[in-house]
Amino acid sequence: MALTPARTPPGVLELLPLDQIAFQDMLDTIRRNFERFGFLPVETPVFELTDILLTKEGGETERQVYFVQSTGGLEKGGTPELALRFDLTVPLARYVAEHEHDLNFPFRRYQMQRVYRGERAQRGRFREFYQCDIDVIGKDSLSVRYDAELPAVIYNVFRDLKIGPFTIQLNNRKLMRGFFENLGVADGEAQTLVLREVDKLDKRGADYVRDTLTGEAFGLSADVVRKILDFVAIRSTSHADALAHLAALGQGGDTFNQGVAELREVLELIRAFGVPEAFYALNLSIARGLDYYTGTVYETHLVEHPQIGSICSGGRYENLAGHYTKSHLPGVGISIGATRLYWQLREAGLIGTGTSTVDVIVTQMDEAELPRYLAIANELRAAGIATEVVLEPGKLARQFKYADRAGIRFALVLGSDEIARDAVQVKDLRRQEQFEVPRAELVKTLRVELEQAAAMAAR
């Protein structure tokens, strides 16, 4: 038979088991923190009806959509009925609108699933990737206080991920809009265009942005552009510094003042939520690409790895599900692109191969003693210790080699001598040490060893 070469489609990240364990650890840490803050799990189908997913006309998003159809649908032709979700926000909007009367508001949900985009295949760009989102959705209204809760969740997640210092950067779209109105850029459309240019500051530099904004397309005066660039250059270095920057902005129109007041309240509450001041800052350049956000906006950056860009972003939006329901559903949310984050952390050497989920392997020194080995494994498993038993006979050295390659740390050896003494040899394959414990103390001893190993790994 002719062989079909085994290969994954381009643009996906498929992991070997020990890497999968490391990735799973990351997801577990994220999930644990989402749950600690009282967010509830939601999962939605991988596909949505096409008319639901593509309510917005045209645009970049639509071109990147993957359509789904069964063999029958394929034969019939026409627009496919289904398409893969490209984010978790549209499914959330559909979910909340569909189940509105069964949900409690403010509705606090987390969702950790894969999304799909028909991106051009290139290194570090994924067509399938995990997003880990939390959102709080209000009915009719939602206090700005929730805007301060999400940075507290972000802080807890990334602290627990142990990937070095990071800064949650804050801005407010009302502040920005009001600022532009003060400068005479009153039209919303024009503001959006200016903000889009300002968004390019990091990538293209100040000169490019200055030239563009004073150029024909925008026609702003040099003075106005200078004010804009001074404004977006504002970064705070401490909590007090952030408040001082806000005070120095002075008064403006209603929108401007409201933006300042919201930012101030959010900053004060972030501190009350227990986030140390080294971990949050004002950054008045943050606009977020989407026109979607209307208030607080967030980005999160690793201090020592700025090239990675924002590892967690989001913000406040005015109305979640206007396409599907007449209810007014304001919300605030953040998203962690876990697949890209994992890949980048691994590239940067910040994340290694995981420790095996298998704690202990029971070797097979004497085939006739297999029932004894199985009984030991039963006991360990009942004590919560993940245990593999070697079921194929073979040389001990080969069994150790298998265990070592598989990343299993502890191997148990029971030959006739140990059995006569009612003892077990424990071989620590990482330290290349071996010690004997009485059979009755095996579970206790292994628990201590595993707790120590976990504590070492957590440092």
Q: Tell which positions 360-419 bind a second copy, by CB under 8 A.
A: 361, 370-371, 374-375, 378, 381, 384-389, 391-392, 402, 405-406
Contact 359, 385 (CB under 8 A): yes
Q: Which residues are annotated as a binding site for L-histidine?
A: 87-89, 117, 131, 135, 288, 292-293
The 318-357 contact track toward a second copy, x by CB under 8 A, reads ---xxxxxx-----------------------------xx
The distance of closest approach from Cβ of residue 68 to a second copy in the complex, given in angstroms and rounded to an integer, is 5
Rounded to whole angstroms, the Cα distance separating 179 from 228 reads 9
Count the Cβ atoms, other than its own, within 10 Å of residue 48: 19
156 binds a second copy, rule: CB under 8 A: yes
The distance of closest approach from Cβ of residue 82 to a second copy in the complex, given in angstroms and rounded to an integer, is 6
Q: Which of 307, 281, 258, 331 is nearest to 171 (CA)?
A: 281
Instruction: Using the minimum distance from each CB to a second copy, give the nearer residue, 45 or 165.
Output: 45
Q: Which of 26, 88, 116, 166 binds a second copy (CB under 8 A)?
A: 116
Q: Which of 30, 84, 320, 424 binds a second copy (CB under 8 A)?
A: 84
Instruction: Using the minimum distance from each CB to a second copy, give the nearer residue, 20 or 257.
Output: 20
- For 163, the token pair is 């990937």
Rounded to whole angstroms, the Cα distance separating 115 from 51 reads 18
102 binds a second copy, rule: CB under 8 A: yes
Q: Which of 51, 223, 304, 347 binds a second copy (CB under 8 A)?
A: 51
Secondary structure of residue 111 in the 3-state scheme: strand
Instruction: Using the minimum distance from each CB to a second copy, give the nearer residue, 220 or 361.
Output: 361
Cα torsion angle, 81, 84, 86, 88, sign: positive
Instruction: Using the minimum distance from each CB to a second copy, give the nearer residue, 63 or 459.
Output: 63
Provide the phi-psi class of 384: left if phi over 0, else alpha when psi is between -120 and 50, else beta: left
Question: Can you name the residues that pair with 129 across neighbouring β-strands?
Answer: 115
The 8-class DSSP code of residue 433 comes to E
The distance of closest approach from Cβ of residue 324 to a second copy in the complex, given in angstroms and rounded to an integer, is 4
Rounded to whole angstroms, the Cα distance separating 223 from 215 reads 13
94 binds a second copy, rule: CB under 8 A: yes
Q: How many of the chain's residues bind a second copy (CB under 8 A)? A: 104
Instruction: Using the minimum distance from each CB to a second copy, give the nearer residue, 199 or 291.
Output: 291
Instruction: Using the minimum distance from each CB to a second copy, give the nearer residue, 97 or 351.
Output: 97
4 binds a second copy, rule: CB under 8 A: yes
Rounded to whole angstroms, the Cα distance separating 377 from 74 reads 51
453 binds a second copy, rule: CB under 8 A: no
The distance of closest approach from Cβ of residue 130 to a second copy in the complex, given in angstroms and rounded to an integer, is 10
The distance of closest approach from Cβ of residue 95 to a second copy in the complex, given in angstroms and rounded to an integer, is 7
Give backbone dihedrals phi and psi of 2, rounded to 5 degrees, phi first. -70, 135
Q: Which residues are annotated as a binding site?
A: 87-89, 117, 131, 135, 288, 292-293
Rounded to whole angstroms, the Cα distance separating 408 from 6 reads 28
131 binds a second copy, rule: CB under 8 A: no
Give backbone dihedrals phi and psi of 181, rounded to 5 degrees, phi first. -60, -45
Instruction: Using the minimum distance from each CB to a second copy, give the nearer residue, 78 or 349.
Output: 78
Rounded to whole angstroms, the Cα distance separating 10 from 126 reads 8
Identify residue 340 by its one-letter amino acid code: R
Instruction: Using the minimum distance from each CB to a second copy, give the nearer residue, 356 or 425.
Output: 356
Rounded to whole angstroms, the Cα distance separating 16 from 194 reads 45
The distance of closest approach from Cβ of residue 180 to a second copy in the complex, given in angstroms and rounded to an integer, is 27
Q: How far is CA 172 from the centre of its chain?
A: 22
Of 137-145, 165-173, 244-252, 277-285, the window that binds a second copy (rule: CB under 8 A) is 137-145
Secondary structure of residue 336 in the 3-state scheme: strand
